[in-house]
A and B are shown apart, each in its own frame.
Chain A
Amino acid sequence: MKWRLLALAGGSLLFLLACLVLAKVSPLEAGQTLVQGSLGSAAALTGTLRETTPLLIAGLAVFIALRAGLFNIGVEGQLTIGAFCCSVVALRLPGFLGIVVGLIAGMAGGALWALPAGWIKAYRNGHEVITTIMLNSVAVFLTTYLAAGPFKAPNQQEPSTEVLSDGSHLPVLLSIRALHINVGLVLGLMAVAVCTVWLSKTVSGFRFQATGANPVAARFAGVETKPTVMRAMLLSGALAGFGGAVQVCAYEFRFYEGFSPGYGFDALGVALLAGNSAVGVVPASLLFGILAKGGTALQIDGVPKGITVVVLGLLILIAAAIRYRKVNVVA
């Protein structure tokens, strides 16, 4: 089996090199630009960590759902709704209270947006991949309408809410010269820690993983799998909404049209690369943060940003070939 994996990895690498050479870009230079643009300086590293934050939390959201056997492709929409709810609520409350209630509102919004998909999966047997993707589109239309209409800031050209006042920003925790680390990143890491402990040390966490590993066996062991599936989807949605809310409070300070440049989809790659433990989400999201920030640097050099999405697809294939093989194999 080993040579097959090698063939897959080698083929992917060749494909990538062919893409770069076809576009008359030297692969070495492209790699250098990517690393330089994401890790080369304190400012670049700050940008990478900024990109990492939403990927970390959204990746955790996908990961939690995946542990319960669900593909939550809807993180994109849940994050968008969460960000919108957070910005609307935080605008109306002062200072610290605004952050706290805003984050909670974001989680509630995300969970609410995941509810139909969870219900349809658990009780109507409709595949969650299709419903969540449809809800992603609906989320974009809904928030665009709201941000362009009832909640539009009068002084903005594009559909956008007002900007949060300084008191409602999540502060920078640590500043070493040009390197800034925001509290948002720490909140994300804390969420990862909580989920790791919860999944491995508690009964409800175990029920989750049992449902994901083998729903039939879990049912025989006395786990009510349908409510568990619902709960998994709601929790995943709440985490995704939390990610959107943190993004608003820590970095963007407002909601605008096209808020998420595809965090939910990158998060899917993060979760698949993370492996069996929630802790794996941390290095995986950092890798995708580097790709995202480095991809922007490549774009300035004239390489279309799509190349990083191609890398994402190849990474998903390789990771899945190692970990997510079907085991019910007939000889």
Chain B
Amino acid sequence: MLNILLLTLTLSTPLILAAMGGFCSERSGVINIGLEGLMLTSACVVAISSPSCGAFGGVLLGVVAAIVLSVIHWVATQHYRIDHVISGMAVNALAAGGTNYLFGRFGDVDKGAMPILNEKFFVGIAFILPFLIWLYVGRTRGGLRLQAVGSDPEKARLAGLNPVLIRLGGLICCGVFTGLGGAMLVSYTGVFTNDMTAGRGYIALAALIVGGWRPLPALGACVAFGFLYALRLQFQGVTVLSMQPPSQLWAALPYVATVLALAGFVGKSRTPAGLGKY
């Protein structure tokens, strides 16, 4: 029982970090389907650079890579005014192709074991971060501005704010947190594999939606999804009621739960009103 709780904490960490990244982006009004790509890119860069830059340097470079991709999304949506969902899909394509290419070229297996940061480092950040964001967004000038821009960019502009610049801030934070999430994934497994995020970015986004775009409920939703991942590791191949459920059933659990959550929980009212607007 204790085992499964610890597993839940560990496995929900990348989800929480990505969901908080998604919060910074979506609360400022930028729809971000690209969380998946940010995580994947960061994980890949961490895996490639850690052997030569050390564990901390690797994570730093991974986060920088995620920020770069996040800023590409910012330029595409805010300057070129590309539909946010399409831009997000393009970011994901760039990340999926780019990591495959980078890792195929530079991901030498013979560089030896890669140094990694202890996963407790990430778990600690993940469980403190939502509270900090909650305080920041609700209690400070910068946080209220972020919300204002996400709720009604036109009125925010009339009030003297610059939505485009504030969204840049939101998307840079998004890159930092989501990048940490990707770094956590590769630190936990110790290797990079193609498409290793396996939809975690989308699940984090679903958790954010189920949590009504609020940091603390989103944290709860992420822990719930993390619990499903933990169940999979714990119960795969175990006999239940004299039957052995196929491993694919446990593997599909988080995805099915995401669909059910979106079918049941989504209310219109909590969506940031300025999402996708200029």
In the complex, identify which listed stretch (B47-55, B116-124, B199-207) lies at the interface while the others stay far away.
Answer: B199-207
B217 to chain A, nearest CB (A): 16
Q: Is the CB of B206 within 8 A of A306?
A: no
- Asked whether A304 and B206 contact (CB < 8 A) given A8-B80, A125-B266, A330-B154, the answer is no
The 8 Å CB contact of A309, one of B85, B97, B263, B278, is B97
Chain B CB within 8 A of A145 CB: yes
Q: Is the CB of B262 within 8 A of A127?
A: yes
In the complex, identify which listed stretch (A49-57, A94-102, A135-143) lies at the interface while the others stay far away.
Answer: A135-143
Mask of B78-92 contacts with A, CB within 8 angstroms, 1/0: 011111011101111
Question: How far is A309 from B105 in the complex, measured between Cα atoms in Å?
Answer: 15
A287 to chain B, nearest CB (A): 15
Residue of A nearest to B76 (CB): A317
Mask of B216-253 contacts with A, CB within 8 angstroms, 1/0: 00000000000000000000000000000010110110
The 8 Å CB contact of A306, one of B99, B251, B263, B267, is B99
Chain B CB within 8 A of A19 CB: yes
In the complex, identify which listed stretch (A82-90, A198-206, A215-223, A318-326) lies at the interface while the others stay far away.
Answer: A318-326
Q: Which residues of B contact A325 (CB under 8 A)?
A: 80-83
- Asked whether A144 and B248 contact (CB < 8 A) given A131-B259, A135-B259, the answer is yes
Chain B CB within 8 A of A27 CB: no
Q: Which of B89, B203, B256 has the most CB of A within 10 A?
A: B89
A122 to chain B, nearest CB (A): 11
Mask of A292-331 contacts with B, CB within 8 angstroms, 1/0: 0000000000011111111111101100110011101110
Q: Is the CB of B33 within 8 A of A129?
A: yes
The 8 Å CB contact of B83, one of A124, A130, A138, A326, is A326
Q: Which residues of A contact B252 (CB under 8 A)?
A: 137-138, 141-142
Chain B CB within 8 A of A288 CB: no
Question: How far is A317 from B72 in the complex, measured between Cα atoms in Å?
Answer: 10
Q: Which residues of A contact B145 (CB under 8 A)?
A: none
- Asked whether A134 and B86 contact (CB < 8 A) given A145-B249, A313-B97, the answer is no
Residue of B nearest to A117 (CB): B259
Q: Is the CB of A312 within 8 A of B93?
A: yes
Q: Is the CB of B278 within 8 A of A134?
A: no
Q: Is the CB of A130 within 8 A of B76?
A: no
Q: Which residues of B contact A310 (CB under 8 A)?
A: 93-94, 97-98, 101
Chain A CB within 8 A of B193 CB: no
Question: How far is A131 from B255 in the complex, measured between Cα atoms in Å?
Answer: 9
Q: Is the CB of B97 within 8 A of A307?
A: yes
Question: How far is A217 from B253 in the complex, measured between Cα atoms in Å?
Answer: 40
Chain A CB within 8 A of B273 CB: no
Question: How far is A126 from B93 in the complex, measured between Cα atoms in Å?
Answer: 23
By size class, the interface of chain B is 35 or more
A1 to chain B, nearest CB (A): 9
Chain B CB within 8 A of A255 CB: no
Chain A CB within 8 A of B141 CB: no
Chain B CB within 8 A of A73 CB: yes
Question: How far is A119 from B262 in the complex, measured between Cα atoms in Å?
Answer: 11
Question: How far is A124 from B202 in the complex, measured between Cα atoms in Å?
Answer: 18
Q: Which residues of B contact A303 (CB under 8 A)?
A: 101
Chain B CB within 8 A of A186 CB: no
Chain B CB within 8 A of A208 CB: no
- Asked whether A120 and B198 contact (CB < 8 A) given A129-B33, A313-B94, the answer is no
Q: Which residues of A contact B98 (CB under 8 A)?
A: 19, 306, 309-310
By size class, the interface of chain A is 35 or more
Chain B CB within 8 A of A133 CB: yes
Q: Which of B87, B153, B198, B248 has the most CB of A within 10 A?
A: B248
Q: Is the CB of A142 within 8 A of B153?
A: no
- Asked whether A330 and B153 contact (CB < 8 A) given A134-B199, A134-B256, A312-B93, the answer is yes
- Asked whether A316 and B90 contact (CB < 8 A) given A120-B262, A328-B277, the answer is yes
The 8 Å CB contact of B81, one of A117, A144, A329, is A329
Chain B CB within 8 A of A71 CB: yes
A258 to chain B, nearest CB (A): 12
- Asked whether A313 and B93 contact (CB < 8 A) given A126-B263, A328-B277, the answer is yes
Residue of B nearest to A331 (CB): B157
Q: Is the CB of A320 within 8 A of B278?
A: no
Question: How far is A330 from B87 in the complex, measured between Cα atoms in Å?
Answer: 20
Chain B CB within 8 A of A31 CB: no
Q: Is the CB of A127 within 8 A of B99?
A: no
Question: How far is A329 from B79 in the complex, measured between Cα atoms in Å?
Answer: 11
Q: Is the CB of B97 within 8 A of A316?
A: no
Q: Is the CB of A141 within 8 A of B263?
A: no
Q: Is the CB of A307 within 8 A of B101?
A: yes
B43 to chain A, nearest CB (A): 14
Q: Which residues of B contact A317 (CB under 8 A)?
A: 76, 80, 82, 87, 90
Residue of B nearest to A8 (CB): B80
- Asked whether A134 and B248 contact (CB < 8 A) given A310-B93, A310-B98, the answer is no
Question: How far is A84 from B259 in the complex, measured between Cα atoms in Å?
Answer: 22
Further contacts, 10 of them, CB under 8 A, given A23-B105, A130-B258, A316-B89: A19-B101, A149-B246, A308-B97, A309-B98, A310-B101, A313-B94, A316-B90, A320-B86, A325-B80, A326-B81
List of 9 A-B pairs having minimum Cβ-Cβ separation, nearest first: A309-B97, A306-B100, A304-B104, A313-B93, A126-B262, A306-B101, A313-B94, A310-B97, A141-B248
Offer 20 A-B interface pairs, CB within 8 angstroms, sorted by A: A19-B101, A22-B105, A116-B263, A119-B263, A125-B266, A126-B263, A126-B266, A127-B262, A130-B205, A130-B209, A134-B202, A137-B198, A304-B104, A306-B101, A309-B97, A310-B97, A313-B94, A316-B90, A324-B83, A329-B81
